[in-house]
Amino acid sequence: MSHLSNPLATAEQLYKNASIGSLPVELQDSIRFYTARLTQAAGILLRLPQDITAQANVLLFRYWLVDDLVQHELSDISAATIYLTAKVSASPRSLRSITNVYTYLLSLSSPLSSTTATNTSSVDPTSYYLSEGGYITFRNKLLHIEGQLLNAIGFNTHVALPHPLAITYLQTLDAFSSSVRQGLGKEVVKRTIEYLNSALLSPQMLYLTHQPASLATAAIYLAARDKGMKLPDVEWWEVFDCEREELGFLVVAMGSLEGIVNREHQRWGDRGMISRADISNELANMGIGLGNGTTKGPAVEDEEAEMARLLDQKVPDA
């Protein structure tokens, strides 16, 4: 049964993670939410199956249990994680494709930005042009982070997802039987998957603290309630190895994501993605120092990046 379960985060890991870098909890939540959302968007543009993108987000959160949230630029650790996850799957993607996608998503023309999404005329192709020197720098950076990521998670890239279990559980509950209104079963399935995908973005790290069976059960409960599908009057969730208290917690947690999104939008506005520099600026605005020094601001341009930039510059006419 090991392929249906995941190693869960311990209370000690969660406590240690909450204190890493002395970042306020609200900023930690912002980092997790925006980076997970960026990973999800990159998976869509790379045309990766959803299960690979979901696994990438779980591995990303596992990495942050061990390492500092701002050890690397947030977009860089996202790109390295999705590259690693795709590489060990049946749908690998080239570093060139990944660097191009992330350059686009981080540009002024990014569809993640609310202003760009509502005004397609503002898209500027020059804002997401990636030069050869820029590609080499980005590629080398991702390969370096990939090694650190693998070391942090102990080279364990296995992730069990609740999505297949949810379909099986709905079949067990006769969600597709003739007694159910035509089409209702499909609606509940779609809504269940939506809840499971949304939970991947939750700063509460639900995929690290609960097994897939419990996540699937909670998503079914919410989906059935939303669509008006009647479930058995007995405590059916216990059949799927989910206790009442755990179900109640997950139902509240999964249902709270909309509030989290609104809160983050109020804090950061229309930004499609935040960076380490944004976190440093927010700390300064809050009057909080950098604590023990693990929280890092924008990295100083290293020699390799500077050389790539100089190579990309046009030689002036004599």
Instruction: In whole angstroms, give the CA distance from residue 201 to residue 58.
Output: 10
Distances (CA, A) of 22 to 69, 70, 224, 292: 10, 11, 41, 7
Q: Which residues contact 13 (CB under 8 A, 6 or more apart)?
A: 65
Band (pLDDT 50/70/90 cuts) for residue 287 is confident
pLDDT digits (tens, 9 = 90+) for 186-205: 999 999 999 999 999 999 99
pLDDT digits (tens, 9 = 90+) for 212-229: 999 999 999 999 999 999
Per-residue pLDDT at 2: 62
pTM over 0.95: no
| CA 69 from centroid of its chain's CA atoms | 13
Domain residue spans of the chain: 23-159+272-318, 163-255
DSSP 8-state symbol, 50: H
Band (pLDDT 50/70/90 cuts) for residue 121 is low
Amino acid in the structure at residue 192: T
Please give the CATH superfamily to which domain 23-159+272-318 belongs: Cyclin-like (1.10.472.10)
The yes-or-no verdict on residue 97 having pLDDT over 60 is yes
N-term to C-term CA, the chain: 71
CB neighbourhood size of 124 (10 A): 12
> Residue 90: what are its φ and ψ, rounded to 5°?
-85, 0
Identical topology for domains 23-159+272-318 and 163-255: yes
Q: Does domain 163-255 have CATH number 1.10.472?
A: yes
The yes-or-no verdict on residue 231 having pLDDT over 70 is yes
Q: Which residues contact 307 (CB under 8 A, 6 or more apart)?
A: 133
